[in-house]
Structure 1
């Protein structure tokens, strides 16, 4: 999970997930014949508000409106494949007070 902005209470930051090389594998048992599997993603947080928490077509970015109060925050990215596999990444963040 990438966050490239200061984490100031009440601000909006972009969250981006990065898939490992080969994360979408070839699936020989797919309906209609072999093809690369489709991945979907879901973002979760312990505080604030996500703009687009679900991406059925991959791992697109989302925006997080940070809570109005400083303190710890966790963000989770869950990536699922269409065969039932899933992977979770957790990131611990610290939201700071506005200047």
Structure 2
């Protein structure tokens, strides 16, 4: 099970479980909103033993630096014993 963590927007600091079964989490949440509203975008994941332990979704209006800063403040890597990795670049964040 992968834990989805939300930064910014109306559901800031909310969490939920994603049932992705070894796949990459969806790039947007909700995945198919159909409402025409901006969706949360996948910013980075935390890898533990080659599996995605958590996925950080940022509000559409947030800058990448703010998402990283807030994630660091919330200490997701320590909490999930995982290494943060950029989704776009496939590289470690720190």
- Is TM (by shorter chain) over 0.5? no
Q: Who wins on radius of gyration, i.e. which is larger?
A: 1
State the TM-score, normalized to the length of structure 1. Answer: 0.27
Higher strand share: 1
